[in-house]
Structure 1
Amino acid sequence: MYLEIVSPEASLFSGNVVSVTVPGVEGEFQMLNNHAAIVAILGKGKVKFKGDASFVDGQEKNFVQEDGQWVLDINSGTVEMKENNVIVLVD
């Protein structure tokens, strides 16, 4: 699936990934290929993904690696997944 992570300041990541885990307001959830279409509000926590490290314009400084995943701390945001395309808007 294709993941884009965007903040108000910049595009942080875009590339193919195997999985995406996000901090929903009711708890963490994971999306894999062919996941049902979803739009959700995100709470404070970590956006995690496994896949190629295709960072935009040196934005890798915002991410850390934990347990074979790339991780980004966020305060809030939204996520939309449709037809194996995931867009995460973070704050």
Structure 2
Amino acid sequence: MTLEIVSPEAKLYSGQVTSVTVPGIDGEFQMLNHHAAIVSILAKGTIKVEAKIFAATKEGESKFILGADRKHHLAIESGTLEMNDNKIIILVD
């Protein structure tokens, strides 16, 4: 599936992923390939990206931290998410 993460300043990530875990307002949830369409508001927390080839943009490289779980973590204050047709777009603050 395809993931794009965009902040007000720049696009932080654009590439193929195997899973994405996000901090929803009712708790953390994960999206895998062919997840049902969803729109959600995100709370303060961490986005966790799992990808065979990690594709952070030049602007986003310094914002991600590789965790002990081998996923790339991005701390956010809030955001919105839309997943449709196997493409995830996340707008973060």
Name the TM-score class by shorter chain.
over 0.9
Give the structure 1 partner of residue 86 of structure 2. 84
Distance 2:4 2:12 in 1: 8
Distance 2:33 2:55 in 1: 18
Question: What percentage of residue pairs aligned between the two structures are identical?
Answer: 56
- Relative to structure 2, which stretch is displaced further, 48-57 or 38-47? 48-57
Q: Cα RMSD over matched residues?
A: 0.7
1:8 aligned counterpart, secondary structure: coil
After TM superposition, what 4+ stretches of structure 1 lie above 6 angstroms from structure 2? none
Query: Can you give the 5+ residue segments of structure 1 that lack an aligned partner in the other structure?
Result: none
2:18 aligned counterpart, secondary structure: strand
Q: By percentage of residues, which structure has more strand? A: 1
Aligned length: 91
Provide the TM-score with structure 1 as the length reference: 0.97
* C-alpha distance after superposition, 1:27-47 (max 9, x if no partner): 000000010000000000000
Give the structure 2 partner of residue 13 of structure 1. 13
